[in-house]
Chains A and B, each alone.
Chain A
C-alpha cells in the first residue's frame, strides 16, 4: 500500500492556511492513485507529531505544500518527522519507508502554471497577454533568501516564455517593493499573482490595500489611473497544484499510472 501525506503550515487563527492542503488532498484522493491520502500541519491537527499514526501503508510519500526550500522544508519538517535529511530523502521507519520530496513551489512546471492562471484570471487571449504586464508578488525577507531566489527564477522563466510583454517581481518586505514595481509597469493591463501558498491576511488585505486596488472579496479587477489591474488568487490555491503534488510523489517513486489526472474546480 502507498500513502500520500501533504504537509501544510496551518494556523492557530484561521482556516485559510490549511484550506488548499485539504482541497488538493481531496482532489488527489478522488483519483484513487493512493490507498491513503492524509493532510498534516505544523500548527493544526492532524499534526506532524502524530502523522505516521494516521496511515497504515508501508510506502509513504510526504510532499510539502510550501513555496520554497527553506527553514520549514529543510529544517522543521525533517526534524519533526525524524527524517534522514532534507528533500529528496528516504527514511526507514518501523514498518514504513518514508520518501520526502521537494516543495511544490520549486517544481519546474510552476512558471507555465502561473502564466496560464494569469491569462485566465484576466480573461486574456494570447494576443492580449502579449501586450499586458505580469507582476509576481513575493513576501521577501524570510528566514533565508531561498524564497526570493525561487520567485526571481520563476519570474525569469515566465519572462523568457514570452507570454506577457513584461514580467517583474515585487516584494512586500524587501526591494523592489511591489507598489513601485506596479508604478513602473507601462502596460495598460497588469496581472498580479501572489506567490503565496494560501489566502491570508497579506493576500486578502495588506497587498490590495497597499496597492490601492480592490480586495479580492470585493473584486479581482480594479480600474486605476487608466489601467486595468487584475489580482489573481495565490499560487498555492491553483487547482494545478494538485497535479504538481502528484508529480512530486511520482518523481519520488510512487506508483501512479501515467493516465491519472486530477480534476479540481478552480477557486478556493
Chain B
C-alpha cells in the first residue's frame, strides 16, 4: 500500500525538511561560481552562506536590467504565480517560469523558502529522490480514493492512463519526472524522456490535481463513440471538431493560447498532446502503391512515382 492514511499528504520522510535544506545549500556551495540549475531557476552562492536565485536564462544579466530584485524570499510566491504573459500558473513545475527577477542575498533558510515558493515541495522531493527515501503513491490508489465528479477516473484502463501521462507529464508541460506507477505491479513503462532540465531531477510522487482533472476530461472523450478514419485513428465527432479547431488555431497563429487548466478548450496543450499520443499509438500502415492510374497517366500500375510531379 503506497497510500496509507498515516503518511498521506507527505512523500518524504518525517524530519526531512531540515536535512534537505542543509543538503540543498551544500549542493549549491559545491558548485562554486557556476551554481546549480534547479528546473528553470539558477541558484548561485554569491559569498559563503549567501545565495541568489534567478531564471536560468537571466544568468549574467546586469541586475539593473531586471524588473524585480529583492531580498524577500516570500516574493518568490508572486513571481511563480503568473507567466511572463500574465497567465495563471496552477502548476508551478510547468516550464513557463517567468523571467526578469532576482532573489538576492538569501541565507540558507531564505534560499529554502524562496525555492519552496517557486517550486513547492520540489527541493524536499529532490532530496528524498537522491537518498532513495521518496515514497510515491501509485495511480490506482490515487484514483481509487477520488470522489464526487472525479470518482470515475478510476475507470480509465492502463493504456489510457499511459496516454494521459504522455499528455500531462512530459517536459513540454511539466518538468517533474513521474515516479509513480499504475500500481505496484504494473509499471508505467514509458519511453525515457532523456536528460532532465537543469542539474536536479525532481520526482513527481503522486498524480497532481491537474492530472486528475485532465483524466476526467479524457474519460469523457473515451466514452464517446468513434468511427474509423482511414490513415488516422478511430475518431469521435468531437475529436474531428478538435482537429478542425487545432488546424484553425495553427493557421491563425493562436495555437498555444488556451489556458493551461482549461480542459474543455480543444486547443488546450494537454488536449492536443493527448490526441497526438492517440495518433502515435494508432500505427499508420505504410502507403501502398495506388492500384489505379490517374486519369491520362501514361505509366502502368501499380504506381511507384509520378513522372508528372517528380519523385515522392
Q: Identify which of A13, A53, A91, A92 contacts B17 (C-beta below 8 A).
A: A53
Q: CA–CA, A234 to B49, complex, Å?
A: 44
Given A50-B125, A82-B5, also A95-B120 (CB < 8 A): no
With A13-B259, A43-B209, A94-B6 known as contacts, the answer to whether A53 contacts B90 (CB < 8 A) is no
CB-contacts of B93-151 with A (<8 A): 93, 116, 120-121, 124-125, 137, 145, 147-148
Given contacts A48-B9, A81-B8, contact A54 B121 (CB under 8 A): yes
Q: How many A-B residue pairs have CB under 8 A?
A: 115
Chain B residues closer than 8 Å to A14, beta-carbon distance = 88
| Chain B proximity of A144: nearest CB distance (Å) | 11
Assess whether B18 is interfacial by the CB under 8 Å rule.
yes
Which residues does chain A contribute within 8 Å of B82, judged by CB atoms? Answer: 15
Contact between B81 and A15, CB atoms less than 8 A apart? yes
Contact with A along B171-205 (1 / 0, CB 8 A): 00000000000000000000000000000000001
By size class, the interface of chain B is: 35 or more
B77-A51 in contact (CB<8A): no
Query: Min CB distance, A266 to chain B, in Å?
Result: 20
* Residue interface mask A32-75, B partner, CB < 8 A = 1: 00000000011111111111111110000000000000010001
In the assembled complex, B282 has its CB within 8 A of some CB on chain A: no
- Within residues 121 to 135 of chain A, which ones have a CB less than 8 A from any CB in chain B? none
Q: How far is the CB of A32 from chain B (nearest CB, A)?
A: 14
Rounded to whole angstroms, the CA-CA distance of A259 and B145 in the bound complex is: 42
Does the CB pair A12–B210 fall under 8 Å? yes
Distance, CA A42 to CA B74, complexed state (A): 21
Across the interface, name the chain A residue whose C-beta is closest to B145: A79
- Is A11 among interface residues, defined by CB-CB distance under 8 A? yes
Complex interface: chain A residues within 8 A of B14 (CB): 93-96
Q: Is the CB of A49 within 8 A of B88?
A: no
Name the A residues within 8 Å of B120 (CB-CB).
45-47, 50, 54
Q: Mark A229-243, 1 if CB is under 8 A from B, else 0.
A: 000000000000000
A71 CB to nearest B CB, Å:
7
Could you give, for residues 97-136 of chain A, a 1 whenever the CB lies within 8 Å of some chain B CB and a 0 otherwise?
0000000000000000000000000000000000000000
Contacts of B18 in A (CB 8 A): 56
Flag whether B310 is at the interface (Cβ < 8 A). Answer: no
Least CB separation from A13: chain B residue: B261
For the complex formed, measure the closest distance between the CB of A121 and the CB atoms of chain B, giving whole angstroms.
Answer: 27
Number of chain A residues whose Cβ lies closer than 8 Å to a Cβ of chain B = 39
1/0 contact trace for B1-20 toward A, CB 8 Å?
Answer: 00011111111111111100
Tell whether, in the assembled complex, residue B90 and residue A12 are in contact, meaning their CB atoms are under 8 Å apart.
yes
A12 x B260 contact (CB < 8 A): yes
Contact check, B88 vs A13: say whether CB atoms are below 8 A apart: yes
B91 at interface, CB cutoff 8 A: yes
Question: Would A82 and B8 count as touching, CB distance under 8 A?
Answer: yes
Residues of B within 8 A of A81 (CB): 8-9
Does chain A have a CB within 8 A of B29? Answer: no
Alpha-carbon separation in the docked complex, A79 to B137 (Å): 14
Could you tell me the distance in whole angstroms from the C-beta of B287 to the nearest C-beta in chain A?
Answer: 41
Q: Does A76 contact B (CB under 8 A)?
A: yes
Q: Tell me whether A10 is interfacial, beta carbon within 8 Å.
A: yes
Alpha-carbon distance A92/B14, docked complex (angstroms): 12
Whether B7 lies near A94 (C-beta < 8 A) is yes
Name the residue of chain B whose CB is nearest to the CB of A55: B17
Does any Cβ of A come within 8 Å of B213's Cβ?
yes
Closest to A81 in B: B9
A224 interface contact, C-beta 8 A: no
With the chains together, A6 CA to B56 CA distance in Å? 31
Query: CA A143 – CA B149 in complex, angstroms?
Result: 11
Q: Which residues of B contact A180 (CB under 8 A)?
A: none
Contacts of B9 in A (CB 8 A): 48-52, 80-82, 93
A80 to B208, CA, bound (A): 12
Interface string of A162-182 (1 = CB under 8 A from B): 000000000000000000000
The verdict on A152 contacting chain B, using a C-beta distance below 8 Å, is: no
Chain B residues near A15: list those with CB within 8 A.
Answer: 81-82, 88
In the assembled complex, the Cα of A41 lies from the Cα of B16 at a distance in Å of 21
Tell me the residues in window 8-53 of chain B with beta carbons closer than 8 Å to chain A beta carbons.
8-18
Q: Contact: A82 with B7, CB < 8 Å?
A: yes
Whether A159 is near chain B, meaning CB under 8 Å from some CB there, is no
Residue of A nearest to B124 (CB): A53
Across the interface, do A93 and B121 meet the contact criterion of CB distance under 8 Å? no
Contacting residue for B16 out of A11, A42, A53, A92, CB 8 A:
A53
Q: B266 → chain A, closest Cβ, in Å? A: 16
The 25 sampled A-B contact pairs (Cβ below 8 Å) are A10-B90, A12-B90, A12-B260, A22-B77, A42-B209, A43-B209, A43-B261, A46-B121, A49-B11, A50-B9, A50-B121, A52-B9, A52-B10, A54-B120, A55-B17, A56-B15, A71-B148, A76-B147, A76-B148, A80-B9, A82-B4, A82-B8, A92-B6, A93-B14, A95-B14
Q: Which 3 A-B pairs have the closest CB atoms?
A: A12-B261, A82-B8, A95-B14
Q: Chain A interface (Cβ within 8 Å of chain B)?
A: 10-15, 22, 26, 29, 41-56, 71, 75-76, 79-82, 91-96, 143
